[in-house]
């Protein structure tokens, strides 16, 4: 439980399971998934694959494992992987691509922004030169965590995919929050995954499941990823208990619009606080990224001022502070959060 009187906007990963999830977990029909015999997990994988119009899906304990399995399954040791310079895979996955796959990450600044597809040209290497690794994979991120939950639309995804294909690259999407993107754009989530070789999405963020992510792709890709999951010790037994919560989570994707409305409300309130800068154009889903430089504080000192007043937030670094709306914060909490921050500077 989130403690009473504390408004916790650090992340949507803080969401606790709903009573329906807990009931479904208690009643789940289960079997041994390593034998492929957990009916609830099989149902979750089939529903996830159908939702994103991919051939197959694999349940994994975390988004990180999903991304890393994708890299491990697409790449060979010594390959180079193109990622956005602010991507989760680069910043927050413990150099796992190097440790587990032996792949090198090559960051591209502004990959998802205007002209991103054209930028790729400077970064792709075909391995023909003995000094250089071959580039074999491009990873995208939708929504984009460190940029404050911004969305890549289907057309941009398509143009990045087309350019990557022209170099013979595979394309993976870190779609931890793909349903936030789909809701924000008013699109079918399958449109944001169309043509991509693999997609990972999380059940455990705004969708509020206690555990779990899915990796999706072709039947052959998922067969190989399943074996790699076993190699990493990720083969689970009666995981239907978790999948039951996951099935409930999939049904919660439409309520993400509420989190987005709360984020806009929060951003509008904060943009009126002296010293705080919020770029409203970046408030596209459930995150608000604000620059607190004008208040005379850096992020750590600003965060401790908030924490002293019962408001928790996070920071991607520098003078940026991030607030994330989710199921367990309501409109009243949003108004209170604005009041707390305004109170510090008035």
Binding of residue 17 to ligand PLP (CB under 6 A) = no
**Shortest separation between residue 88's beta carbon and ligand PLP, angstroms:** 4
Task: Locate 161 and state its tokens.
Answer: 């995919």
Binding of residue 315 to ligand PLP (CB under 6 A) = no
Nearer to ligand PLP, 150 or 295 (CB): 150
Q: Is 4 helix (H, G, I), strand (E, B) or coil?
A: coil
Environment class of residue 257 by beta-carbon count within 10 Å: exposed (0-12), middle (13-18) or buried (19+)? middle
Nearer to ligand PLP, 63 or 246 (CB): 63
Which of 88, 112, 229, 320 touches ligand PLP by CB under 6 A?
88
DSSP readout, 257-323?
HHHHHHHHHHHHHHHTSTT-EE-GGG--SSEEEEE-GGGT--HHHHHHHHHHTTEE-EEEETTEEEE
Q: Which stretch binds ligand PLP (CB under 6 A): 23-31, 60-68, 124-132, 271-279?
A: 60-68
Binding of residue 246 to ligand PLP (CB under 6 A) = no
Environment class of residue 275 by beta-carbon count within 10 Å: exposed (0-12), middle (13-18) or buried (19+)? middle
Which of 40, 145, 180, 228 touches ligand PLP by CB under 6 A?
145
- Which residue's CB atom is positioned nearest to ligand PLP? 63
Give dist(CA 125, CA 128) in Å, integer. Answer: 8
Which of 141, 248, 259, 333 touches ligand PLP by CB under 6 A?
141
Nearer to ligand PLP, 177 or 226 (CB): 177
Binding of residue 284 to ligand PLP (CB under 6 A) = no
Work out the number of other CB atoms within 10 angstroms of the CB of residue 232. Answer: 15
116: nearest Cα among 92, 146, 86, 76: 86
Binding string, residues 171-190; x marks residues near ligand PLP by CB under 6 A: ---x-x--------------
Q: Which residues bind ligand PLP (CB under 6 A)?
A: 13, 62-64, 67, 88, 141, 145, 174, 176, 202, 204, 213
């Amino acid at each position: 439980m989130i403690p009473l009187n504390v408004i916790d906007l650090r992340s949507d990963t803080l969401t606790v399971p709903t009573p329906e999830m807990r009931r479904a977990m208690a009643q789940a029909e289960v079997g041994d998934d390593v034998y492929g015999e957990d009916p609830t997990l099989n149902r979750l994988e089939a529903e996830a694959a159908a939702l994103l119009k991919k051939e197959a899906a694999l349940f994994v304990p975390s988004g990180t494992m999903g991304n890393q399995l994708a890299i491990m399954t697409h790449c060979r040791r010594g390959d180079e992987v193109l990622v956005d310079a602010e991507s989760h895979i680069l910043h927050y996955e413990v150099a796992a691509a190097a440790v587990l796959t032996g792949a090198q990450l090559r960051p591209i600044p502004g990959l998802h922004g205007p002209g991103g597809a054209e930028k790729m040209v400077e970064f792709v290497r075909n391995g023909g030169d003995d000094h250089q690794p071959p580039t074999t994979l491009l990873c995208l991120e939708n929504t984009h965590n460190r940029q404050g939950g911004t969305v890549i639309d289907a057309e941009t995804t398509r143009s990045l995919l087309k350019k990557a294909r022209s170099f013979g690259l595979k394309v993976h999407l870190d779609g931890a929050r793909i349903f936030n993107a789909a809701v924000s754009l008013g699109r079918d989530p399958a449109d944001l995954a169309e043509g991509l070789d693999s997609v990972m999405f999380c059940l455990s963020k705004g969708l509020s499941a206690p555990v779990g992510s899915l990796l999706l792709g072709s039947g052959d890709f998922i067969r190989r990823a399943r074996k790699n999951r076993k190699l990493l010790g990720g083969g689970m037994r009666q995981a239907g208990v978790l999948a039951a919560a996951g099935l409930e989570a999939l049904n919660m994707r439409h309520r993400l619009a509420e989190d987005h409305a709360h984020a806009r409300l929060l951003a509008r309130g904060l943009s009126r606080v002296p010293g705080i800068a919020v770029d409203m154009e970046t408030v596209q889903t459930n995150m608000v990224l604000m620059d607190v430089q004008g208040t005379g504080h850096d992020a750590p000192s600003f965060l401790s001022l908030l924490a002293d007043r019962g408001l928790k937030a996070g920071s991607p670094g520098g003078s940026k502070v991030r607030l994330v709306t989710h199921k367990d914060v309501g409109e009243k909490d949003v108004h209170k959060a604005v009041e707390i921050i305004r109170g510090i500077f008035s």
